[in-house]
Amino acid sequence: MQEVKTGRFIDNARAALDDGNLQVALTKMKTGFVDRRSEARARLPEFDQIRDQARDIKNHTLENLDYYLERFERKVTEQGGHVHWCSTPEDARQTILAICRRLDAKTVTKGKTMIAEEIGLNDFFEENDIEPIETDLGEYIIQLRKEPPSHIIAPAIHVLKHEVAEAFVEKHTERDPNRSLEEPRELLDEAREELRQKFLDADVGVTGANFLIAETGTSVIVTNEGNGDLTQTIPKAHIVVASLEKVVPTLEDASTILRVLARSATGQEASVYTTFSTGPRRPDDLDGPGEYHVVLLDNERSKMLGTEFQEMLRCIRCGACLNHCPVYNSVGGHAYGWVYPGPMGSVLTPSLIGVEAAGHLPNASTFCGRCEEVCPMRIPLPKMMRHLREREFDSGLGSQTVRTGIRMWAFYAKRPRLYQFLTAIKFRILGALGRSKGRFRRLPGAGGWTKYRDFPAPQPGGTFQSQWTAKDGARRPAA
Amino acid sequence: MSGRDSILGTIRSGLGRGELGDADKAALEDRIAARGRGVRPSRIDLDADGLADLFVDYAKGVDMSVDRVASMEDVPDRVADYLTRENLPANLRVAPDPSLDAIPWEKRPTLTVTRGKTDGSDEVGLTGAFAGVAETGTLIMRSGPEHPTTLNFLPDSHLVVIRKSQIVGSYEDAWDKIRDGEMPRTVNFITGPSRTGDIEQTIFMGAHGPRRMHIVLVEDE
């Protein structure tokens, strides 16, 4: 499994805020994705209706997940392919290795797959003397830089072009070290040339899957570069690594979800390539892989069913919640410390690796609610982060200061008269002290706040609650 | 216990039930057989001419160029003109698709046409398409003996000849046509030339697949 560094979120985040290159890169991404999504949504008046249907399709599928997975397997087998059920990352790695060994594979090309990141497939291949070659341009760049992805759809979003050029000069040693790599076009052309031969020479191709279709035994990938297609068409075998919640019943269901996927992700009407693969090449086909395998990974997901996190299994990995998250936008993806960053990662990671190991992730949110607002599958991400914070508190995790603070607050919150009495006193004192300036530049016990911004002094007229009570005929809810 | 049994067991216990009964399974099979469609964009509520125009608009919107011609007779001239305009070699690798047999290549003797699959060295490929989807200007390709998948990806330039009668409104309309036969190994939905935004969010064509795509739309109705 990819190394877990989630426990260091706070330190990672501080370092990220001080990283000048990263901040430049994050500034470049901020408006692009957000504006393009909002324009794409405006061009499709039916967008929100389709979102509701997409949500309902996944809910229906999850309620019948066992049936649809078995049906998917049956259809794959009928077409001459194989489904491998893997409970753990280790099961998945060994299954993939066995296929590669049998085919005597030396090199494996890879399309973009987050599941391969989750199971740490590249390191495992290298330990077993198989060369993994990432073919998505972003993944290729970070493979050269020996980094994990920092975004689920734009893995190298944290890298600036001069850093790409440095990586190419260092790794493409057979080329003129003084060649021009100023322009992105030159970088792209060089990567295209380097990878073209690798596609033709690879023994096995590994891709992920955006959908598995129970009706036909089909796996689906969605890309813009076409790298996934060359990866899965040319080698002897195509191995799909997919987590089990990717299944949907029919081609129509997949079509409905596709209508919200690209628009939410990149703001495209449709991604350039959506590819539906069913079994190995047919006897009369002129190309295509001789073998087709689907490695179906559970890795704790089945345990989310029937819990308050079941809805997270609707996620289609579009990345909209990352793009719209003020925390992600400030610290980037690496700070989160594991495979899945941003709001979806803060919810999914604790379920996959445990609340304890995931540490601060559910706290990496301002609860502004934008993630839920833009989620094409309408996943209530803030609500789930609240559940996780409760779990964190209940299992005695988190810093002592925070725990004590929450306990103290809870003590007063449960005693409304005392709470109102004390807030009224505090209100009067702060109001009197701050009347001249209307704000505080420093406040004892609130240094964490006043270090970055002033604390407004209460305005005359009493606390909100006392004003509310004073209003004649205020409609107080019945006790 | 095998991975399969253990996973299915955990799923069922999470859902608070055992394996589904026959009646429930039959209901799920009925749902699959019904091929129920979701909401589709109302912009496709058009006649055949309207759909063709919509297809062309969207295809151009994703950086494909489009030539509309009256018949297959016109294809060689338009293809030759396109290659000249784009400064491309006059050597074409053409898919062994019988529906392309009607193109009278001999009208333009300067074009060198080779039929069959590509080994990756062809600069220009020409294929048919199974369908065009007006909704997003998407081309649909089915793999098979008449259409090797690699021809959609390896050549730098991809030319596509499609007839107006092949244009449908939505993805679902195309699925119904595809399911008239067997599911092929590969169905490609292609919406524009290959592109990437992986270097500082700047979009460039020709990441790994074709840098340019050109559609010749034959008005056969």
Q: For chains A and B, count residue pairs whose Cβ atoms are closer than 8 Å.
A: 258
List of residues 6+ apart from A447 with CB closer than 8 A: none
Interface contact flag, B186 A277, Cβ < 8 Å: yes
Specify the DSSP element, H or E, that contains A439: strand A439-440
Do residues A121 and A249 both lie within one domain? yes
- Say yes or no to pLDDT of B166 above 50: yes
| pLDDT single digits (tens) A412-456 | 889 988 888 888 888 888 888 877 778 888 887 777 778 878 888
Within A244-373, strands assigned E span 247-248, 273-277, 291-297
| The token pair that represents A96 in the structure block | 């993939």
Amino acid making up residue B48: A
- Min Cα distance B116 → chain A (Å) is 9
- The domain of A141 spans 6-302
Share above pLDDT 90 across residues of chain B, in percent, rounded to a whole number = 94
Cα A227 to Cα A97: distance, rounded to the nearest angstrom: 22
Q: For domain B44-218, is the CATH number 3.40.630.30?
A: no
Burial degree of A191 (CB within 10 A; 0-12, 13-18, 19+): buried
Q: Do B38 and A50 touch (CB under 8 A)?
A: yes
Q: Which residues of B touch A279 (CB under 8 A)?
A: 185
CB A318 within 8 Å of CB A35: no
- The complex scores an ipTM of 0.98
Q: How far apart are CA A226 and CA A136, in angstroms?
A: 8
For residue A114, the surrounding DSSP H or E stretch is: helix A114-118
pLDDT of A440 reads: 84
- In chain B, what residues touch A199 (CB-CB under 8 Å)? 208
Residue A183 tokens, joined = 């322009």
pLDDT digits (tens, 9 = 90+) for A226-252: 999 999 999 999 999 999 999 999 999
Note the pTM of the prediction, 2 decimals.
0.93
Query: In B, which residues are within 8 Å of A307 by CB distance?
Result: 14
For tokens 């690496």, the residue is: A334
Domain regions of chain B by residue span: 1-34, 44-218
Nearest residue on chain B to A56, alpha-carbon basis: B38
Which of B14, B116, B191 is opposite residue A303, by nearest beta carbon?
A: B14
Do A88 and A301 contact (CB within 8 A), yes or no? no
Residue A452 tokens, joined: 């970055």
For residue range A102-157, what is the model confidence (pLDDT) as tens digits?
999 999 999 999 999 999 999 999 999 999 999 999 999 999 999 999 999 999 99
pLDDT, tens digit (0-9, with 9 covering 90-100), for B148-158: 999 999 999 99
When pLDDT is averaged across residues A71-85 and rounded to a whole number, the result is 98
Q: Which of B7, B58, B203 to mutate to test the interface with A (most CBs of A within 10 A)?
A: B7
CA distance A57 to chain B (A): 10
Q: How far is CA B204 from CA A162, A184, A241, A256, B7, in A?
A: 17, 8, 28, 28, 43
Report the pLDDT value the prediction gives residue A356, as an integer from 0 to 100.
85
C-alpha A48/C-alpha A58 separation (Å) is 16
> Tens digit of pLDDT for each residue in A22-56?
999 998 887 789 999 999 999 999 999 999 999 99
Of A302, A333, A366, which closes a domain? A302
How close is the nearest chain A Cα to the Cα of B170, in Å? 9
**Number of neighbouring beta carbons within 10 Å of residue A60:** 16
Instruction: Test A67 with B116 for CB contact under 8 angstroms.
Output: no
Q: Which of A302, A333, A350 is the last residue of a domain?
A: A302
Q: Is residue A103 part of a domain?
A: yes
Largest CA distance in chain B: 71
The partner residue sitting opposite A272, judged by closest CB among B31, B183, B191, is B191
Q: How far away is chain A from the Cα of B67, in angstroms, using its nearest Cα? A: 20
Single out the residue in A302, A332, A347 at which a domain terminates.
Answer: A302
Structural domain count of chain A? 2
Task: With CB atoms and an 8 Å threshold, state whether B194 touches A70.
Answer: no
Residue in B38, B183, B206 closest to A53 by CB: B38
| A288 backbone φψ class: left, alpha, beta (φ>0; ψ -120 to 50) | left
B95 CA: distance to closest CA in chain A (Å)? 10
Q: How far apart are CA B117 and CA B111, in angstroms?
A: 18
Name the burial class of residue B87, with classes exposed (0-12), middle (13-18) and buried (19+) by CB atoms within 10 angstroms of its CB.
exposed
Beta strands A291-297 and A82-86, pairing class: parallel
Task: Answer yes or no: are the C-beta atoms of A207 and A113 closer than 8 Å.
Answer: yes
Query: Contact A377/A54 with Cβ under 8 angstroms?
Result: yes
- A66 to B8: CB separation less than 8 angstroms, yes or no: yes
